Amino acid sequence: MKIGILGAGSWGLALSVLLESNKHAVTLWEYHQESADLVLKHREHPIKLPGVHIPESVVITTSMEETVAGADLVIIAVPTQFVRMTMKSMAASVPADLISAVTGWVIVAKGIENGTNALLTEVITSEVSQITMQEIGVLSGPSHAEEVGRGIPTTVVAASENLELATLMQEAFTTDRFRVYTNDDIVGVELAGSIKNVIALAAGACDGLGFGDNTKGALLTRGMVEMARLGRAMGANEHTFSGLAGFGDLITTCTSQHSRNRKMGELLASGLSLEDALKQMTMVAEGVTTAKSVYDLAQKLNIDMPITTEIYRVIYEGKNAKQAVMDLMARESKPERG
């Protein structure tokens, strides 16, 4: 199988290693020529995925057409807020017949677009007329690039409205170190992967403030409630949020040393401004921008999401992180379910 990957960040690089190990022909697209040359020369990226060798057979290119041409699957691995721009560029530069020939488009970015509050499936279908929901899948779950690139056992979900495509994704990605389940709730999987990054910012803030396991356990549990509330309102299957794409990814992102979003929350809790905290990050923390989209959706749909609201206020209104936690604790008492 030929597989193209749009985006040579840490996740795109890790997936190129995984898929090459599964005997697929992999072409990896990098927007910046300098970064592409770096990986070509060293077969490694010392910042994005240090210590992980990119096999010689993985083609590194800055040509979208070369990446898409003849591909059975194309993986969209650029950061959320760049997906629309990337798809616009592809629609303008890649012949329509090459786009139409692709069997499936696999989203691995996790986030919701700012401004439109659109899920990435909506962004893609609105920008590329040849792509319908039947050709789109989402791969998500507890899967840090740093561990996948090193072959550490990982389990994820391949979601699509098209069961044949979900099964094709399962077959393409599954190895003895990378297990894939299928799921038909693509909206729930997208939302879970997006909102958990917002909750992870709160988890990092708790770490930065020196709180303990009690706090983290409560945060994850109530964060899951918020994820499911918004999911129900948007037509998702509530069971998705208790699975790998939901609770599995939430646990990993809120507790791991690899988590960019947890780290960003920790930096914000230390008293740094958003601008200064972003300067200390070498890669994108998707939760920062997604927090605004999730907050906007909650307001629009009248969904109670107190953790998301406080994180939004810390990031975009400059609220003190410790005060945000105290305000959460001081909310009106109520039944656990309701």
Instruction: Kindly list the catalytic residues.
Output: 196
DSSP states of 71-118: -SEEEE-S-GGGHHHHHHHHHHHS-HHHHHT-SEEEE----B-TTT--
Rounded distance between C-alpha atoms, residue 280 and residue 265, angstroms: 12
Q: From start to end of the chain, where are the E strands?
A: 2-6, 25-29, 59-61, 73-76, 104-107, 136-140, 154-159, 178-183
Structure token digits, residue 134: 């039947």
Structure token digits, residue 227: 């994820």
180-218 burial, b for 16+ CB within 10 Å, e for fewer? bbbbebbbbbbbbbbbbbbbbbbbbbbbbbebeeebbee
Collapsing DSSP to helix, strand or coil, 237 comes out as coil
Structure token digits, residue 169: 């994704």
Structure token digits, residue 215: 């706090």
First to last CA, the chain: 48
At 285, give phi and psi (nearest 5°): -100, 100
Question: Strand 136-140 vs strand 154-159: parallel, antiparallel, or unpaired?
Answer: antiparallel
Rounded distance between C-alpha atoms, residue 128 and residue 145, angstroms: 28
